[in-house]
């Protein structure tokens, strides 16, 4: 009986995590498994209840679980707090605390959504990109990091961008290994024409690449990569990059697929895998029941695959999502005229129904 830790967090987090739980329960029913759940506070809700975005007890719950499913953190209520007391600090703390250095963000375009992208359908057709983002180093964690008042009365703020060979080697290996199970291409993204840490990144990735002669390695500067993603995203297989560049590029990649509401992620390499949608807490639509739960549901699929060694369960969830989309059901963020608009819960229920029905859409009878 696998225990799954739930960290619903803030904003739309609780609504979408609830749908992901329903979906996992449906998988358990079909596969004759059982899960136990333990919910813990993280982010703004933890600040309100415990005075800190990441209580020790929450980390303990995560460590005792087979996998962690996270919703989202943050909101205007906590925006005025200093950096290390904000909800986002809880997210960084959990990544660092559990040693989750490898963030996988797959962006695959579901056929039925090709028209939902802001790019032309022929540009995004069939894209299948995996962003491998380094998650516990770089600009997000470098020290020193401070603010000071200058003699002239102005302020000075400092962040530090650093990488060690060990940090680069281990994330590079994750990317190369992932590429082996895909189209065998890694594009490493840096700013080696300017940044010293990027020059070390490029050298180290190149060296690690020699261990993987079967994988084709290329390098791109981050500005060029941002441009290529819009010009010709089909050229990419695995994108390997730093924490900061990965944050930015993964949002861009997500939009290729039609909506940030579709993109799942896995954070691995540490004590327990953490799974979360790439989108944020969307406080503007929280509580309205209109959020897209599919990124959370697809994150739950990644949990099945990576933490529970259940690729069949993961594939069943993905197939079911695809089939629900194929029937034209859409939440507001991906809705277009002629689609069937549904709310958060209905979308979850439809995926559950598809799973219980085998996840295969019967095109002839328009049913599951
Ligand atoms: C993400 C988010 C986080 C990040 C924020 C919420 C701290 O944007 O997971 O991409 O910057 O890593
Ligand atoms: Mg981000």
Cα–Cα distances in angstroms (integers) from residue 40 to residues 12, 71, 302, in the given order: 16, 11, 20
Say yes or no: 306 and 215 in one domain.
Answer: no
User: Which pLDDT value is given to residue 128?
Assistant: 95
Answer whether residue 264 is part of any domain.
Answer: no
User: Which pLDDT value is given to residue 366?
Assistant: 46
User: Which pLDDT value is given to residue 277?
Assistant: 95
Say yes or no: 252 and 134 in one domain.
Answer: yes
> Is residue 104 scored above 90 in pLDDT?
yes
Answer whether residue 42 is part of any domain.
Answer: yes
Cβ of 124 less than 6 Å from ligand 1: no
Domain range for 353 is: 1-101+269-368
Give exposure, 165-197, as e/b (b: 16+ Cβ within 10 Å): eebbeebbbbbbebbeeeeeebbbbbbbeebeb
> Is residue 365 scored above 70 in pLDDT?
no
Task: Identify which ligand lies nearest to the alpha carbon of 78.
Answer: 1
The per-residue pLDDT for range 198-217, each reduced to its tens digit, is 999 999 999 999 999 999 99
Answer whether residue 263 is part of any domain.
Answer: no
Q: Which atom of ligand 1 is nearest to the CA of 265?
A: 9
Average pLDDT over residues 79-98: 94
Say yes or no: 290 and 338 in one domain.
Answer: yes
Confidence of residue 124 (pLDDT cuts 50, 70, 90): very high
Q: Which of 216, 234, 258 is the last residue of a domain?
A: 258
84 noted as active-site residue:
no
Average pLDDT over residues 27-34: 96
Cβ of 88 less than 6 Å from ligand 1: yes
Residue nearest to atom 11 of ligand 1 (CA): 247
Confidence of residue 228 (pLDDT cuts 50, 70, 90): very high
Say yes or no: 119 and 252 in one domain.
Answer: yes
User: Which pLDDT value is given to residue 255?
Assistant: 86
User: Which pLDDT value is given to residue 368?
Assistant: 45
Q: Which of 163, 190, 191, 237 is catalytic?
A: 191
Answer whether residue 130 is part of any domain.
Answer: yes
Q: Which of 67-71, 147-151, 320-324, 356-360 has the weakest average pLDDT?
A: 356-360
Say yes or no: 122 and 97 in one domain.
Answer: no
User: Which pLDDT value is given to residue 359?
Assistant: 61
Cβ of 276 less than 6 Å from ligand 1: no
Give exposure, 66-77, as e/b (b: 16+ Cβ within 10 Å): bbbbbbbbbbee
Residue nearest to atom 10 of ligand 1 (CA): 247
The 8 Å CB, 24+ separation contacts for 151-159 are none
Higher-confidence residue: 338 or 135?
Answer: 135
Say yes or no: 91 and 25 in one domain.
Answer: yes
Cβ of 247 less than 6 Å from ligand 1: yes
Say yes or no: 253 and 126 in one domain.
Answer: yes
What CATH number does residue 165 fall under?
Answer: 3.40.718.10
Say yes or no: 93 and 154 in one domain.
Answer: no
Confidence of residue 83 (pLDDT cuts 50, 70, 90): confident
> Is residue 362 scored above 70 in pLDDT?
no
Higher-confidence residue: 281 or 359?
Answer: 281
Say yes or no: 75 and 115 in one domain.
Answer: no
Average pLDDT value over all residues in the chain: 95
251 noted as active-site residue:
yes
Cβ of 91 less than 6 Å from ligand 1: yes
Report the residue among 9, 265, 280 best suited for mutation to probe ligand 1: largest number of ligand atoms under 8 A from its CB.
280
> Is residue 183 scored above 80 in pLDDT?
yes
Q: Which of 159, 251, 339, 343 is catalytic?
A: 251
Number of domains in the chain: 2
Question: Among residues of the chain, what percentage have pLDDT more than 70?
Answer: 97
Q: Which of 227, 258, 289 is the last residue of a domain?
A: 258
Higher-confidence residue: 6 or 336?
Answer: 6
The per-residue pLDDT for range 289-343, each reduced to its tens digit, is 999 999 999 999 999 999 999 999 999 999 999 999 999 999 999 898 899 999 9
> Is residue 148 scored above 80 in pLDDT?
yes
Answer whether residue 313 is part of any domain.
Answer: yes
Answer whether residue 339 is part of any domain.
Answer: yes
> Is residue 88 scored above 60 in pLDDT?
yes
Q: Which of 208, 228, 258 is the last residue of a domain?
A: 258
Say yes or no: 134 and 230 in one domain.
Answer: yes
Task: Identify which ligand lies nearest to the alpha carbon of 103.
Answer: 1
Say yes or no: 128 and 149 in one domain.
Answer: yes
Q: Which of 22, 41, 140, 275 is catalytic?
A: 140
Cβ of 322 less than 6 Å from ligand 1: no
339 noted as active-site residue:
no
């Amino acid at each position: 009986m696998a225990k799954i830790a739930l960290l619903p967090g803030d904003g739309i987090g609780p609504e979408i995590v609830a749908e992901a739980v329903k979906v996992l329960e449906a998988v358990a029913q079909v596969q004759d498994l059982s899960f136990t759940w333990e919910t813990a506070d993280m982010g703004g809700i933890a600040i309100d209840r415990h005075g800190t975005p990441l209580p020790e007890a929450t980390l303990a719950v995560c460590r005792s679980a087979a996998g962690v499913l996270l919703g989202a953190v943050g909101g205007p209520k906590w925006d005025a707090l200093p950096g290390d007391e904000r909800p986002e600090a809880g997210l960084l703390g959990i990544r660092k605390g559990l040693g989750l250095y490898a963030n996988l963000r797959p962006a695959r375009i579901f056929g039925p959504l090709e028209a939902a992208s802001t790019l032309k359908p022929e540009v995004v057709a069939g894209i299948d990109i995996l962003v491998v983002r380094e998650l516990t180093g770089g600009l997000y964690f470098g020290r020193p990091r401070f603010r000071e008042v200058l003699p002239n009365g102005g302020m000075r703020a400092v962040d530090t961008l650093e990488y060690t060979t060990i940090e680069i080697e281990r994330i590079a290996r994750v990317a190369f290994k992932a590429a082996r199970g895909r189209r065998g291409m890694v594009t490493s993204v840096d700013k080696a024409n300017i940044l010293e840490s990027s020059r070390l990144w490029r050298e180290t990735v190149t060296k690690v690449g020699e261990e993987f002669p079967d994988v084709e390695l290329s390098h791109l500067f981050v500005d060029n990569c941002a441009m290529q993603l819009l010009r010709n995203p089909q050229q990419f297989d695995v994108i390997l990059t730093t924490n900061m560049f990965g944050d930015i590029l993964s949002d861009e990649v997500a939009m290729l697929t039609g909506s940030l509401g579709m993109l799942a992620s896995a954070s691995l390499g540490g004590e327990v895998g953490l799974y979360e949608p790439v989108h944020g807490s969307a406080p503007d639509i929280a509580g309205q029941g209109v959020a897209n739960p599919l990124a959370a549901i697809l994150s739950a699929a990644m949990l099945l695959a990576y933490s529970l060694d259940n690729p069949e369960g993961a594939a069943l969830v993905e197939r079911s999502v695809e089939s629900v989309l194929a029937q034209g059901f859409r939440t507001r963020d991906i809705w277009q005229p002629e689609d069937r608009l549904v709310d958060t819960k209905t979308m979850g229920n439809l995926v559950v129904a598809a799973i219980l029905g085998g996840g295969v859409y019967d095109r002839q009878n328009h049913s599951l």
